[in-house]
Amino acid sequence: MGRYPDRRSASIPALWAVQERYGWCTPEGIRQAAAVMRVTPAYLESVASFYDLLHTSPVGTHRIEVCTNISCWMRGADRLLEAFQEAAGGDDANFYVTGFECLGACDIAPMASIDQRYYGPLEAAEAGVAIDQLRAGQEVLPDKALAKRGLAGDA
Ligand code: FES
């Protein structure tokens, strides 16, 4: 809260911390954060319910958001989303798979965020590989990880 002129500006980082701790923005976690921030739980609930990346109900251990906005859609995002949903097995509570509107990495379309890390460009066939790697506790698609790509201007 000390980073911001208004303590309410720390709402999203506080809710993100709650989500990291509990897996989603639980009522208890929201009450704890609200007590520390000296705001009402209802205020934090309203913030949490507004943002798609904050979850107000339980989600799986692994969160997969497949971008389906224009750049990714034109490069096969719908098929990629289907492939992730099929590979995750539909009812497998370990996986939360959803479409998402532009994750801001259009240059690697079609792409997905897997446990908050970006991967792309992805082929539909790689969805099953990624799910298997997550189940096995292995590194996910190392060749497609945005974090492993060089920076512009790198030799
Ligand atoms: S359209 Fe997919 S990341 Fe922007």
Please indicate whether residue 148 or residue 67 has the higher confidence score (pLDDT): 67
Closest ligand 1 atom to Cα of 71: 1
Task: With CA atoms as reference, report the closest residue to 62 among 127, 11, 150, 152.
Answer: 127
Cβ 106 vs Cβ 72: under 8 Å = yes
Q: How far is the CA of 104 from the centre of ligand 1 (A)?
A: 5
Ligand 1 atom with minimal separation from the 110 CA? 2
Question: What is the Cα Rg of the chain in Å?
Answer: 17
Q: Where are the domains of the chain?
A: 7-50, 62-146
Question: What is the C-alpha separation between 80 and 139, in angstroms, rounded?
Answer: 20
- 152/43 Cα distance (integer angstroms): 41
Q: Tell me, yes or no, if the pTM score tops 0.75.
A: yes
Phi and psi angles of residue 82, each rounded to the nearest 5 degrees, phi first = -60, -45
Q: How far apart are CA 37 and CA 7, in angstroms?
A: 7
| 15-59 pLDDT per residue, tens | 999 999 999 999 999 999 999 999 999 999 999 999 988 999 999
- Secondary structure element (H or E) that encloses residue 65, with its range: strand 62-67
Interval between CA 3 and ligand 1 midpoint (Å): 30
pLDDT band at 92, cuts 50/70/90? confident
Q: How far is the CA of 68 from the centre of ligand 1 (A)?
A: 7
- Ligand 1 residue neighbourhood (C-beta within 6 Å): 67, 69-72, 102-106, 109, 111
Q: What angle do CA 29, 34, 38 make, to 5 degrees?
A: 160
> How is residue 147 annotated by DSSP?
G
Q: What is the pLDDT of residues 101-118, one digit of tens each?
A: 999 999 999 999 999 999
The amino acid occupying position 19 is Q
**pLDDT value of position 139:** 96
Domain range 62-146, its CATH number among 3.40.1370.10, 3.40.30.10, 3.40.1280.10, 2.60.120.10: 3.40.30.10
27 near 56, Cβ under 8 Å? Answer: no
Look at the chain and count its residues: 155
